[in-house]
Amino acid sequence: MLRWSQRLSTNALPHASPATRTPVYSRRRRYDGGVDAPSNTAVLLLAHGTPDRLSEMAEYLDKVTGGRPMPRHVVEELQHRYAEIGLREEPLPEGPPLTRWTLLQGRLLAEALQQPVYVGMRNWHPYIADVVAQMKVDGVTDAKVLCLAPQNSRTSTGLYRRALDAALRDTPGQPFTYEFIAGWADEPLLAQAFAERMWPAWAEASAKQGQHVPVLFTAHSVPCRTIRSTNATQAAQGSAPQPGAAVPAEGIQNYGTANAGDPYPIECKQTAAATAKRLSVVGFTDADWSFAFQSQGVAGAPWIGPSVEDTLTALAEAGHKAVVMQPIGFLCDHVEILYDIDVNFREFGEKLGLEITRAESLNDSPTLIRALQHVLERSVRAENSDLSSRPEVSGARRNGETPVFAPAQASHSRNTPVAEIITEALPEAELVAAAGL
């Protein structure tokens, strides 16, 4: 076993080698790496999006909620939280964290693939529709589309896919064919990337305490009913009458029918278990980690748990004095990490006598870029082997038509998770996507 003062060697957790430059394209920004024109094939990365200025919060929330008005105090509270993580009225030189890191991930992936990579956001610039329009202008005829949410959920990835299909249908130009990779939680290099970030944080915390410190892996919670199989009658119960209508009191939305349960909670825990297994080379055991879902909503039907608050309370009652957290459902810094974990959960832990620290987010991790590259290459091999109908490579070779499944549109304290303070005006499917899943 390695001493706490040692850093995990690259032999134990290997890093990616440097890659050469190639361009990444988006509607707002273009990184010119010397390629005269994009290829007819390209990669499109889809992410959530975040406002550039505090004054854009109301407009941004309007996108997130599908046009449902937000109370003024909700807008002001979110402005406060975004200000806490660095957003100002003047745009940040490199953009807000989610935008900055996602665009950088696209550029690094383009360098690794030596292929054009576009980045589109569902709720802010660069909008998916704008990026799709640019791809048409650039002459793209076929694309691989990867949602930057590793764990597949019909309440999150379905929304991205619907936005993509709408963009292909509604923007001028010839629609291109695409393969939509809906989930990649089983990618070994994803667990490797998380393990590389966890090791130094866990080693430092354990050295300070003089013993193994528990690790708490997290992912964003989703409503319980969205992960169950659902028939047409059940799906229709309690639904809003139409997109843009008021959310019913019980908070239940129509997500459409599903023949099988949603894989999301299973895939989240699989990612956590795979990350823990990677850390076994430094003495990390199954007794050293727990898993919880963060940022549950408060209105309507129950959300999946256990919650972070309940888990931290249990760890404190067991006599622990410190916990290292790592969200394994997010690929870069954003408000659900920089505020919910770094501010809210840290303050919650202090009241319990727990010192809460966090592993660095993946952000520009070379191993994450290798993981993205491997997922895309793996889908090519699967297609060539007539395996493109497998669950994690869904919607292969669509041409802009409506998918078989598309989800129906459907006073707060400073320690309330971001997701909770907009629950009353936000359908559950949109709420999950709002959290960046």
Kindly write down the DSSP assignment for every residue of 307-336, as one continuous string. Answer: BHHHHHHHHHHTT--EEEEEESS-SS--HH
Fold of the 24-186+365-434 domain: Rossmann fold (3.40.50)
Q: CA-to-CA distance for 409 and 401, rounded, in angstroms?
A: 17
Residues whose CB falls within 8 Å of the CB of residue 40, separated by 6 or more in sequence, listed in order: 139, 140, 141, 142
Q: Between residues 312 and 396, which one has the greater pLDDT? A: 312
**Which pLDDT score is estimated for 382?**
61
**Which pLDDT score is estimated for 154?**
74
Q: Same topology for domains 24-186+365-434 and 188-358, yes or no?
A: yes
Q: CA-to-CA distance for 99 and 97, rounded, in angstroms?
A: 6
Q: Between residues 396 and 139, which one has the greater pLDDT? A: 139
Give the strands of the sheet with 177-181, arranged side by side: 30-31, 24-25, 117-121, 41-47, 142-147, 177-181, 394-398
**Which pLDDT score is estimated for 309?**
96
Average pLDDT over residues 88-115: 96
**Residue 34 clears pLDDT 60, i.e. is over it:** no
**Which pLDDT score is estimated for 429?**
39
**Other beta carbons less than 10 A from residue 235's beta carbon:** 18
**Which pLDDT score is estimated for 268?**
96
Which tokens in the block code for residue 428? 């559950």
228 falls in which pLDDT band (50, 70, 90)? low
**Which pLDDT score is estimated for 278?**
98
43 φ/ψ angles, rounded to the nearest 5 degrees = -115, 140
Fold of the 188-358 domain: Rossmann fold (3.40.50)
**Which pLDDT score is estimated for 376?**
97
Listed range (168-177, 229-238, 392-401) with the worst mean pLDDT: 392-401
Q: CA-to-CA distance for 201 and 142, rounded, in angstroms?
A: 41
Stated as kind and residue range, the H or E segment containing 30 is: strand 30-31
Q: Between residues 378 and 144, which one has the greater pLDDT? A: 144
**Other beta carbons less than 10 A from residue 66's beta carbon:** 18
**Residue 201 clears pLDDT 70, i.e. is over it:** yes
Average pLDDT over residues 308-323: 98
Q: Percent of the chain scored above 90 by pLDDT?
A: 59
Domain ranges of the chain: 24-186+365-434, 188-358
**Residue 5 clears pLDDT 70, i.e. is over it:** no
- Considering 65-79, 139-153, 154-168, 291-305, the range whose residues carry the highest mean pLDDT is 139-153
Distances from the Cα of 105 to the Cαs of 102, 123, 162, 252, 369, in angstroms?
Answer: 5, 18, 23, 35, 7
Q: CA-to-CA distance for 374 and 370, rounded, in angstroms?
A: 6
**Residue 18 clears pLDDT 50, i.e. is over it:** no
Residues whose CB falls within 8 Å of the CB of residue 301, separated by 6 or more in sequence, listed in order: 223, 224, 225, 250, 251, 252
Q: CA-to-CA distance for 391 and 245, rounded, in angstroms?
A: 33
Contact 236, 226 (CB under 8 A): no
pLDDT in tens, 250-280: 333 333 444 556 888 999 999 999 999 999 9
Stated as kind and residue range, the H or E segment containing 291 is: strand 289-294
**Which pLDDT score is estimated for 416?**
54
Average pLDDT over residues 130-151: 97
- Considering 37-46, 146-155, 421-430, the range whose residues carry the highest mean pLDDT is 146-155
| DSSP annotation string for 103-143 | HHHHHHHHHHHTS-EEEEESSSSSBHHHHHHHHHHTT--EE
pLDDT in tens, 355-408: 999 999 999 999 999 999 999 998 766 655 443 333 333 333 444 432 222 222
pLDDT in tens, 178-187: 999 988 999 9
419 falls in which pLDDT band (50, 70, 90)? very low
